[in-house]
Structure 1
Amino acid sequence: MKTPALALAATSVVLSAFTMPAVAAQDARFMRALDRLDPKTRLEQICDLEAMRKMSASGSAKSRVDRAKSDVITPPQHLGNTLVAKGGAYRAGGKWYQMSFTCKATPDHKSVLDFTYKTGAEIPAAKWASYGLWK
């Protein structure tokens, strides 16, 4: 069983990778950090990264997406290797917006096989703190 400190350190490494270009998913450090996470958290992290990549590449976001979280407004549903996030959020241009997605990953939760998403309304800055969001 992992200690809380180890889990926190591994999560910090993964989250810090989100500030790097999408190429970070291929980075060996990123993959080692994923290995240190429990499968449920690993699925959330790889799907959040995929959300950032897809939205930035498609131009559907207001500008480049630099953060994505599947668990902002409501917790995501874990259905085996699939994550269904109906209450997520992403940050682009210094603002947070609602999003939902369905993400299917490989059994080891290290690669995404299928990903569909919808973007939503801007989240008012007055609600950021209650959702655990930041500037």
Structure 2
Amino acid sequence: MAIDARVRGQLEKLTPEERLEQRCDIEAMDEISAKGGFRPDKVIAYAFGDPKLDGTTFKTKGAVFRSKGEWYRLSYKCETSPDRLEVNAFKFQIGDQVPHEDWAAHYLYD
């Protein structure tokens, strides 16, 4: 999904690695919203494990997203253009809801 000029301008201020992660997190929220049933307002790529970066590819099995005040596990693979502003390929899988008692250990909040 294309991003608006304001978001593009903000992303361009980041390092290439930060831009890749942020752009992929934005895509994750867009894709999850399009699937229906969720209204994600935050994605954290590293809550349950470190993501893997390889050039313009970002993969994480330890991500989470927040929707309607609850956190859910998420894994995704995101491939971007060389400038890391356009998403060329995106695959994701939504996992289980994160129990409230696990939130503090993973720095999650409502």
Instruction: For residues 2-57 of structure 1, give each alpha carbon's deviation from its aligned partner in whole angstroms, at most 9, with x where no partner exists.
Output: xxxxxxxxxxxxxxxxxxxx88x31x221111111111110000000000000110
Q: Residues of 2 paired with 1:129 and 1:74: CA distance?
A: 15
**Higher RCO (C-alpha under 8 Å, 6+ residues apart):** 2
Which of structure 1's runs of 4+ aligned residues deviate more than 6 A? none
Task: State the one-letter code of the partner of 1:129.
Answer: A
Task: State the one-letter code of the partner of 2:86.
Answer: S
CA RMSD in angstroms, aligned pairs only:
1.5
**Corresponding residue of 1:9:** none
**Corresponding residue of 2:84:** 109
Count of residues in correspondence between the two structures: 110
Q: How far has the Cα of 1:71 moved from its partner?
A: 1.1
Task: Give the TM-score of the pair, scaled to structure 1.
Answer: 0.77
Q: Which protein has the bigger strand share?
A: 2
**Corresponding residue of 1:53:** 30
Structure 1 residue runs without a partner (length 5+)? 1-21
**Corresponding residue of 1:122:** 97
The alignment status of 1:41 with 2:18, answered yes or no, reads yes
Structure 2 residue runs without a partner (length 5+)? none
* Contact 2:32–2:38 (8 Å) recurs in 1: no
Q: Which protein has the bigger helix share?
A: 1
Q: Residues of 1 paired with 2:11 and 2:104: CA distance?
A: 27
Task: Give the TM-score of the pair, scaled to structure 2.
Answer: 0.93
